[in-house]
Amino acid sequence: MIQEKSQEEYDTQNKTWLILSFAGVIIAAILSILFAPIGGRMNLFLLLLIAGIFGFSSAYIVLSAILDILSLFIKKLKTDYYTKFTIKMVIGSAATIILLIILIIGNFANLDGRSLSPIISTKQLLSDQINNPGAESCTDPVTFTKKVSQISAEELTRNTRLNYEQVIFANPDDILNFYASNYSLKYTGTTNKKVIMCAICSGNGKTGLERALQKNGVNLTTISSTIEETLCVIYPKKG
C-alpha cells in the first residue's frame, strides 16, 4: 500500500511538472516575440531567462516522451516512477545549465570589439543618449561588413519612445564608403571596416541639436529636419 501511494505521488508530481513545462514553453515563446532582438541579440539577462525557461521545459517534455516509450519495452521502468522523475529532473537541469553556459560564453566572446554588431551597439548608444542630451558619446569599435552594411533609423527606434523621424544620420568626417541619408547609414566598401559610432541628442529639436554639435566640435552645423522635440544625430568616426 505504501509503494502504491508513493507511485501515485510521483505520478502527480510528474503531471504537475508536465503542465508547468508546457506553460514554460509558451511563456518563453511569448517573451521571445515581445522582446524580439535587433541584429540577432537581446539583453543578456532576458536572453538567459528565456533560454532557462525554454531549455528546462522542452527537455522535461522530450524526456517524458522518451521514457514513456522506453517504458513500453522495459517493464521495471514502467512502474519505477521515482527513477523516471529523477532522470527527467537531473538531465533537464543539466541540459539547461549547459545551454546557459554556452550562451554566457558566447556573449562574452562577442564583447571583443572586432565582433560587435553596429546595429546592437548603436541601438544601445541611442538609448543612453536620449537621457543624456547635449553630450557626445561613442561606442567601442564596431565592424561593418558586406553582410552587415546598413543601419536604419527604423530599426534603431523600434521598442523605444522615439519614432524614426527623430533619428538622422551623418558622416561629418567624410569617412570613405559611408553614405548617410536622413534615416539610414550605408557602408559600400568591399572589405570589412572598423569604426566607432557616435551620437548626440537634444531635447530642443533642430536648433538645440545644432548648438550641441557645435559645442562638441562636430563639423555638421546644419541639420535637415524640422522636428522641434527630441532629435538625435548618429555618425561614424575612425576607430
68-93: average pLDDT: 81
SS3 193: strand
Q: Do 188 and 149 contact (CB within 8 A), yes or no? A: yes
Q: What percent of the chain has pLDDT over 90?
A: 28
Question: What pLDDT, in 10s, does the model give residues 8-48?
Answer: 777 788 889 999 999 999 998 998 888 765 444 556 778 88
Q: Which DSSP helix (H) or strand (E) runs through 149? A: none
Quickly tell me which residue has 548608444 as its cell.
125
164-183: average pLDDT: 90
| DSSP annotation string for 15-26 | HHHHHHHHHHHH
Question: What pLDDT score was predicted for residue 40?
Answer: 46
Which neighbouring-strand residues pair with 178? 187
Q: Return mean pLDDT, the chain.
A: 83
Better-scored residue on pLDDT, 6 or 171: 171
Q: What is the dihedral of CA 132, 138, 144, 147, to 10 degrees?
A: -20
Question: What pLDDT, in 10s, does the model give residues 37-77?
Answer: 544 455 677 888 888 999 999 999 999 888 888 888 877 77
Which sequence spans correspond to the domains of the chain? 2-109, 114-238
The span from the first CA to the last CA of the chain, in angstroms, equals: 74
Q: How confident is the model at residue 221 (pLDDT cuts 50, 70, 90)?
A: low
Better-scored residue on pLDDT, 137 or 116: 137
Q: Which amino acid appears at position 39 of this protein? A: G
SS3 30: helix
Among 21-35, 72-86, 126-140, 203-217, where is mean pLDDT lowest?
Answer: 72-86
Quickly tell me which residue has 549547459 as its cell.
98
Question: What pLDDT score was predicted for residue 107?
Answer: 63
Question: What pLDDT score was predicted for residue 75?
Answer: 74
Question: What pLDDT score was predicted for residue 223?
Answer: 77
Question: What pLDDT score was predicted for residue 7?
Answer: 67
Q: Which DSSP helix (H) or strand (E) runs through 100? A: helix 81-109
SS3 201: strand
Whether the pLDDT of residue 79 is over 80: the answer is: no
Question: What pLDDT score was predicted for residue 14?
Answer: 83
| DSSP annotation string for 62-75 | HHHHHHHHHHTT-H
